[in-house]
Structure 1
Amino acid sequence: MRLLEPHPPTDTAANRQHWHARLSLGFANDRGTTRLIQRSHVGPLRVQKPLYPEQPSVCHAIVVHPPGGVVGGDQLAIHCTVGDSAHALVTTPGAAKWYRANGHVSRQDLALRVGAGGSLEWLPQETIFYNGADVALDTAIELAADASFITSDILCFGRTASGESFDHGRVSQRLQVRRGGRLVWFEQGALVGGDDGFAGPLGLQGRTVCATLLAVGRPASAACLQALREEASDRFGVTQMKSVLVARYIGDSSQEARRLMHRAWRLLRPVLLDRDAITPRIWQT
């Protein structure tokens, strides 16, 4: 969900009618080829044509938000279904940007479903919250008992390259994952810019970037875990819990976060999905 204009919106643009945008995607296995069989939208959310940079069984799709940034009061909803034995990789063309609130909460509701033997890689590029943003992110994931899923999330608070800090604003998140009808992962929380929780040991500890990679499926091998943990530091760590693996980063560099998340994905993909890690070309542009 890439920003096309170089600057935040003017007050006039910010006071426009709020966007209420919805996108529904459906992928299905058609005799060994994963096809994008459904794509419907209301408002400014689109998906580019399906791509096959590795093999027909894996469909890559790029979700685009044409306005670029998300203004206070905008409401986005994305629903994605991957059918039985299908495999989809969904990403975005660049960083998502959430602008100041202007007195209104912005929302993104994400609902993902993966059928029996299916796989979904939901890998958006980083998210930047402008100072004063008020954002609610809600993600619900439903997996079949033998489905596989990988996602990563890189959150950047304030435009630090421009000298901006996130000293006011609010970002709340809720994430729940069910596999075979059982809740296997749940977390929720809120970070408020400038308060003690944001800067304290239970928050970001004064850092400006946090990132999480979540992988659900077969447990990672000992060799894979060892390779991941070789990256471990006071800013990056990995935990394996039965069918769920979590890798986290906290620091001040979106580039370092991106490198670590991509490294973790490259190590996990062959183990979890039996596929080599083919880097989407859009990540390199």
Structure 2
Amino acid sequence: MDFAGSSERTTAERLASQRVSARGALAVARRHGRTRLDRLFQEGAAKIRMPRSDGEPLEAILINTAGGMTGGDRLAWEIDAGADTSVMVTTQASEKVYRAASGQAEMAIRLSAEENGRLAWLPQETILFDRAAFSRRLDVELAAGAQALIAEATVFGRGAMGERVERGIFRDRWHVVQAGRLVHAEAFAAGPDFHTTLGKRAVLAGAAAMATVLLVAPDTDAWLDKVRDIVGERGGASAWSVGGTGKLLARLYDDDGYSLRKRLVPLLGLLNGRADMPKCWSL
């Protein structure tokens, strides 16, 4: 994807740039009565750190040392939760996707949990800048009896900095399977005219921040009233019985990332149970 005409490009933009190609992988297993690190792989700008903890779940922090992404960058994360384990994954900071001179930034996320494993994928927000081009793919495979809490929040420009996102490309695809059966799939696409797309009432009605939260676990309908109280009028939530388990899906939107966080943090804290929120999240 190329948003800048040749006459608008600087000399630096016309020069070939080094692109990020990074991958981080983490696997946990249950040993001696608790969740412990089983395998760790880090390549390129993808780093994983685990704060010391005496209890469950094991917490992992993902770090992109490149400081953000732009056109042509590739970043992949893989998280595997073994049987009877509990792992919570977040990011050190918000992932920033900058203007793309050419191509698009791509992120691939693969999550899996074995029988009775519990996995929480709770990255901080992705912030898209004007003329960013970004594609994200999330694939989740759960065994029977496994549970997953998955959240992704996206912010279109930093309102506090006076930024306005007019043009760009954003593609987001989720595919969640449990015990070989599809339990959730969705695809979101916006651009190249962000202003028009996001301004539609059926999309964000002019808001600049949104989040999707998915819980796959038994008896999700028991959480529905509390979830709707937190989400309020700027979003919605529903719960179903699907594939032998339960599914709760919530969507939130707001004027900026900070306002969105004020509802997203208590929502994730509620659904994450005794684990609460990752240590590096803060308002």
* TM score, norm. by length of structure 2: 0.88
In the TM superposition, structure 1's runs of 4+ consecutive aligned residues that sit over 4 Å from their partners are 10-15
Structure 2 Cα separation of the partners of residues 216 and 90 of structure 1: 16
The aligned residue for residue 260 of structure 2 is 257
Structure 1 Cα separation of the partners of residues 70 and 57 of structure 2: 34
1:267 and 2:266 equivalent?
no
Which of 273, 279, 282 is matched with 1:281 structurally? 279
The aligned residue for residue 127 of structure 2 is 128
Letter of the structure 2 residue corresponding to residue 280 of structure 1: P
1:265, 1:277 within 8 Å by CA — same for their partners in 2?
Answer: no
Deviation (angstroms), 1:221: 5.2
1:152, 1:261 within 8 Å by CA — same for their partners in 2?
Answer: no
Change (3 A) 1:13 1:29: farther
1:219, 1:240 within 8 Å by CA — same for their partners in 2?
Answer: no
The aligned residue for residue 27 of structure 1 is 28
SS in 1 for 2:134: strand
Please list, as runs of the form range in 1=range in 2, the aligned pairs for 1:100-179 lying within 5 A after superposition: 100-179=99-178
1:48 and 2:49 equivalent?
yes
| Residue-by-residue CA offset, 1:69-99 (whole Å, 9 max, x unaligned) | 1121100111111111111011111111001
Deviation (angstroms), 1:37: 1.5
The aligned residue for residue 88 of structure 2 is 89
2:68, 2:95 within 8 Å by CA — same for their partners in 1?
Answer: yes
Letter of the structure 1 residue corresponding to residue 267 of structure 2: A
* Identical amino acids, percent of aligned pairs: 30
SS in 2 for 1:283: coil
SS in 1 for 2:83: coil
Please list, as runs of the form range in 1=range in 2, the aligned pairs for 1:230-249 lying within 5 A after superposition: 230-242=229-241, 243-249=246-252
2:13, 2:101 within 8 Å by CA — same for their partners in 1?
Answer: no
Deviation (angstroms), 1:234: 2.5
| Residue-by-residue CA offset, 1:200-234 (whole Å, 9 max, x unaligned) | 13322221111111110112353x32222223432
Structure 2 Cα separation of the partners of residues 45 and 257 of structure 1: 27
Deviation (angstroms), 1:195: 5.7
- Please identify, of 114-123 and 228-237, the stretch whose mean Cα deviation from structure 2 is larger: 228-237
SS in 2 for 1:177: strand
| Residue-by-residue CA offset, 1:137-167 (whole Å, 9 max, x unaligned) | 0010000111000021110002222222111
Change (3 A) 1:38 1:161: same
| Residue-by-residue CA offset, 1:238-284 (whole Å, 9 max, x unaligned) | 111121101111121212222222212222233xxxxx143332113
* Ranges in structure 1 where 5+ consecutive residues have no aligned partner: 1-9, 271-275
Structure 2 Cα separation of the partners of residues 37 and 47 of structure 1: 13
Structure 1 Cα separation of the partners of residues 131 and 15 of structure 2: 13
1:23, 1:77 within 8 Å by CA — same for their partners in 2?
Answer: yes
Letter of the structure 1 residue corresponding to residue 77 of structure 2: I
Structure 2 Cα separation of the partners of residues 115 and 37 of structure 1: 14
Structure 2 Cα separation of the partners of residues 19 and 86 of structure 1: 32
Change (3 A) 1:123 1:136: same
SS in 2 for 1:198: helix
Structure 1 Cα separation of the partners of residues 12 and 240 of structure 2: 47
| Residue-by-residue CA offset, 1:13-34 (whole Å, 9 max, x unaligned) | 9952111111111111113211
Structure 2 Cα separation of the partners of residues 34 and 248 of structure 1: 31
Change (3 A) 1:237 1:134: same
Structure 1 Cα separation of the partners of residues 52 and 218 of structure 2: 27
SS in 2 for 1:183: strand
| Residue-by-residue CA offset, 1:29-59 (whole Å, 9 max, x unaligned) | 113211111111221100013532x61x421
* TM score, norm. by length of structure 1: 0.88
- Please identify, of 31-40 and 177-186, the stretch whose mean Cα deviation from structure 2 is larger: 31-40
